[in-house]
Structure 1
Amino acid sequence: MLFLRFLALISPLLSLAAIAQTAPDFELNVPPGHIRIPVLVTDKQGRPVSGLHADDFKIFDNGKPAPIAAFLALSTASSAAAHFTVFYLDDRHLTLEQMNSAKQNVDAALPAALDSNGYVAIVTGTGSVNSGFSRDPGLLRQTLASIHATPFAAQGTSAHNFDLIGIYASLADYASRMSKLPGRRLLVLLSPGFSVDFPEIRSAAAVSIDRIVQSGVVLNAFNTQDSTSVTRSEDDIVLEELSSATGGSFFPGPSLPPALTQYPELLYLLDIPLSAIRADGSSHQLKVVISQPGNHARARKKFVAPSSAK
């Protein structure tokens, strides 16, 4: 009953009867006292590598070996049938032209997201629009039509660094709301990218990534900038970090990728225990190494330790 009330609050357009019949993916929920590290492992051809076990991985926390407290290989085939996609349009930075293109991209991606048991919500970074979850493409397209670029977005991606902390907090907030949903959870960020020049912004980014990962949410990022943009490489780094740290995919654009709403085919979830980490609120560097040569592991590179004051 409490679960249905929660869905009614965050998803006004969601079919509660249909969702109530689907059991949650409990493995996506991070146990208390754990820090989760999603890892994508591919071979030389870029294909996912299956059949790995916990002893095939080594995790280094600030250069020192860290114990693996929990391990799970999560495949799309074995996940719950229901899945949820939130399209997040970064209206703080999308110019008028970029916004129109992003809306067209979301429209084109709707059929894949709304497959046999898919639910979609469309939101904006400023919070001005939130469709709630729906399976009705008509209602979702009405939401798209109501979204407009903000006046200050025309000034460029680096003109409003003061608001970047708000972007990271907003992404983390949507992920936290999704954490109670059953099935796979995908957050798709459409943005021209942004910089993280200042320490407080880098800290906000690390905290946001941690909240997204702890919510069991995968983030795909799509850079809407034209490939001739001089700031593209810097902004790509930020968007790629967000996606790779959560187990998602990064798409440099500007052409719409066919797999914009694709959840990873195979995702390894590795947990390290908080009991082995000093609770000083500091930033920790992470490195994941796999024992099998020729394979490549892509994982988050840092996390923020909890503070003993909390």
Structure 2
Amino acid sequence: MNRSDIIMKMAMIVNRFLGSVCGKCLVGMVLLLVTMMPGISSHQVVLRSDLVLVPVSVYDRRGRFVSGLRAEDFILYDDGRRRPIVFFSAETEAEHLSRPLALILLLDASHSIAAILHEQQSAVASLLSALGDRTMVSIVSFHQRPEVLLDFTVDKDEALRTFLRRRRIGGNTAIFDALCFAIKRLSALPDADLRRIVVIISDGLDTASETDYRACARAAQREGIAVYSVWIPLYSPSGGRLKARRPTKGFIEVAEETGGKFFRVGTVEEALNPRAVVDLRPVFQAVIDDLRHQYYLGFYPPGDAHPGFHRVRVTVKRKGVRVDARRRGYLVR
């Protein structure tokens, strides 16, 4: 374990436990005496518990990840004011996920989506293989209520069997109730160093939720959970042709506001062709690539930060690149 790995692990622990329990700008210190660890140079790392970590991805004009950036290449703004970057780590391993991951596959149980998911054996097998041995996977199905089909496990064969198993088909669909349920399950996991994500696959039409999507987004932001929304649209006739039924407001936004991504899958032609097979492999590969290519920037909020949500923005001192800050802000209680 190198110096950057050690600092990252301690930062995650501080952020998750001390920061979430102690609330607004706790100034207690955590001391990591790395001199006790073999192979690490003698120094002392001091981490404050109010450190805010911002995952960032940087892409060139062709959409390729930009590697080799340093802390001085980034500029970070907190509510429009520039803040010094006090922590930096490049998590850019190309072959394997460098940190353990907990993933919930949140699956819409409506008839159209269930039929598509049952055809995804190859896609899901590729996803589970790429996640690595340390990744914990849970599978939750939902219609009006969420149902845990598989608790967290590292057994990828069991996860694949569960994913492909025929499920009960529901009527009303409560997307945001199910999403908040998944976020709570991820939040309850004890390992502070876990990256936590939800991949929700749905037609995006919420007909029964009692929970507003903003509550899900706030809960995910507090715990550093990223939501990846996968939209397989339904189509309705309009003006003599078929048009996709837009997802309920929040289905796209919750991905954008939690540092995840939104994907649209399928076309009108595929929807009209009974022999066409929707392929989720490109989406799953995009999620894996996204997890493999991130920088982490850390900063401290001002001591007088007011309670509420604070907006974070990141830029890069390089032309011709696009910056994707995966955390839009942070919450002060």
**Fold similarity call, TM over 0.5:** yes
CA 1:152–1:241: 2 relative to 1, 3 Å: closer
CA 1:102–1:27: 2 relative to 1, 3 Å: farther
d(CA) in 2 for partners of 1:277, 1:144: 51
What is aligned with 1:175? 186
Deviations 1:142-179 (A, max 9, x none): 464253232213xxxxxx6xx73x34422321332456
What is aligned with 1:191? 202
1:29-108 matches, within 5 Å, as: 29=12, 31=15, 32-77=49-94, 79-80=97-98, 83-91=101-109, 95-105=110-120, 108=123
d(CA) in 1 for partners of 2:147, 2:243: 28
What is aligned with 1:128? 147
Letter in 2 for 1:253: V
SS in 1 for 2:147: coil
SS in 1 for 2:181: helix
| 1:148 counterpart = 2:160 | no
d(CA) in 1 for partners of 2:76, 2:112: 43
d(CA) in 2 for partners of 1:82, 1:273: 25
d(CA) in 2 for partners of 1:181, 1:278: 25
Match of 1:206 among 217, 221, 235: 217
Q: Is the 8 A contact 2:53 2:298 kept in 1?
A: yes
**Structure with the bigger percentage of helix:** 1
For the pair shown, the structure with the greater C-alpha radius of gyration is 2
Letter in 2 for 1:130: L
CA 1:33–1:26: 2 relative to 1, 3 Å: same
Q: Name structure 1 gaps, 5 residues minimum.
A: 1-22, 154-159
Q: Identity rate of aligned residues, in percent? A: 21
CA 1:62–1:122: 2 relative to 1, 3 Å: same
Whose relative contact order is higher, 1 or 2, with alpha carbons under 8 Å and at least 6 apart?
A: 1
1:177-256 matches, within 5 Å, as: 177-178=188-189, 180=191, 185-193=196-204, 201=212, 203-213=214-224, 217-226=225-234, 229-232=243-246, 235=248, 238-254=250-266, 255=278, 256=280
**Structure with the bigger percentage of strand:** 2
Match of 1:114 among 111, 129, 138: 129
What is aligned with 2:40? none
Q: Is the 8 A contact 2:196 2:226 kept in 1?
A: yes
Deviations 1:213-254 (A, max 9, x none): 2xxx5443211214755443x65x844444445544432112
Letter in 2 for 1:223: W
TM-score (norm 2): 0.65
Q: Is the 8 A contact 2:310 2:329 kept in 1?
A: yes
What is aligned with 2:307? 280
Letter in 2 for 1:271: G
d(CA) in 2 for partners of 1:179, 1:120: 15
Q: Name structure 2 gaps, 5 residues minimum.
A: 1-5, 16-48, 236-241, 267-277
Shift of 1:39: 1.2
Q: Tell me how large the CA RMSD over aligned residues is.
A: 3.5
SS in 1 for 2:313: strand
